[in-house]
Amino acid sequence: MGSQSYFKALIICLIALIGSTQAQLQLGFYAKSCPKAEQIILKYVVEHIHNAPSLAAALIRLHFHDCFVNGCDGSVLVDSTPGNQAEKDAIPNLTLRGFGFIEAIKRLVEAECPGVVSCADILALTARDSIHATGGPYWNVPTGRRDGFISRAADPLRSLPAPFHNLTTQLTLFGNVGLDANDLVLLVGAHTIGIAHCSSISTRLYNFTGKGDTDPTIDSGYAKNLKTFKCKNINDNSLIEMDPGSRDTFDLGYYKQVVKRRGLFQSDAELLTSPITRSIIASQLQSTQGFFAEFAKSMEKMGRINVKLGAEGEIRKHCARVNN
């Protein structure tokens, strides 16, 4: 009896081990279960992203906000219900865009392979394809993520880096999800595309220390320009380019602005307060090709944050709500 119990326990352990090794992200995860999935996603992106190129920035931001809050599990896509306020309704997420774009792709993929491809994977692939289709870098996206069951509005406030965070706070939040200073500098390099709202810098421009002053770390000429032509008063919530002059071009423009003390956010200026992050910026400025390669590594790393695998999640029928 003892030996039989031992072998039964050994078999159970082996099965568990095999299951754990199989339940990993992998390139081409849907090659057999839904072989056209990635092709469908890419085709939709290529056909539509040029009609609204600013969506590329919105989609990579959506992916970032998803991964930093409870992992890359599509929880940012879930709608609130009478009994639960979801992540998308948290203050940091109120300006997120691209939900309809992701849902449109989900419908196409569901028509091809019902109940097979997760919203988390669709979001990760769409973010990559939209950036690459508009001239940005390409990175590998291993798939096999499951969609999470939980989406709470309280979580983004605790987990997401904010435009006003100092470097220590940024590094802590990145460290909480397994990313380091190098990943921080590289991933915020995505600020080379897209737009922000004046509300994200109003205090920096008009009331930095509570005395009606401007953040002294911002270039005075840039601050004057912003106040004169963009954010004309503290209550102005107009749209503003994060990388003036090339907001639709994925390039080194953001880093060039930062070293001139013209980074839009306080969090951008904070990158100059450490020799480590300054050195990383200087390294990226050596070549666009080098930046693209390093950015790709950090994006793939980010896409692996606390992913749900196997029974840890589900495949949602609709990205905006968990299955019942």
Report the pLDDT averaged over residues 39-63: 96
CATH of 36-159 among 1.10.520.10, 1.10.10.10, 3.40.640.10, 3.40.50.300: 1.10.520.10
| pLDDT score, position 24 | 86
How many whole angstroms separate alpha carbon 249 and alpha carbon 200?
22
Catalytic residue among 65, 165, 197, 318: 65
Query: Is 251 among the annotated ligand-binding positions?
Result: yes
Query: Is 161 among the annotated ligand-binding positions?
Result: yes
Query: Is 249 among the annotated ligand-binding positions?
Result: no
Query: Could you tell me which CATH number the domain at 167-302 has?
Result: 1.10.420.10
Q: Would you say 63 and 131 are in contact if contact means Cβ atoms under 8 Å apart?
A: no
pTM value is 0.92
Q: Would you say 87 and 133 are in contact if contact means Cβ atoms under 8 Å apart?
A: no
| pLDDT score, position 1 | 44
The verdict on whether 50 is a catalytic residue reads: no
Ordered by start, the domain boundaries in the chain are: 36-159, 167-302
pLDDT in tens, 258-268: 999 999 999 99
Report the pLDDT averaged over residues 120-131: 98
Report the pLDDT averaged over residues 139-157: 98
How many whole angstroms separate alpha carbon 209 and alpha carbon 280?
29
Query: Is 192 among the annotated ligand-binding positions?
Result: yes
pLDDT in tens, 18-37: 333 345 899 999 999 999 99
| pLDDT score, position 42 | 98
* pLDDT(13) > 60: no
* Same CATH fold assignment for domains 36-159 and 167-302: no
| pLDDT score, position 296 | 98
Listed as own residue / partner, the contacts of 237-242 with beta carbons closer than 8 Å and 24 or more positions apart are 237/197, 237/198, 237/199, 238/197, 238/198, 239/195, 239/196, 239/197, 239/198, 240/195, 240/196, 240/197, 240/198, 240/201, 240/264, 241/195, 242/191, 242/192, 242/193, 242/194, 242/195, 242/196
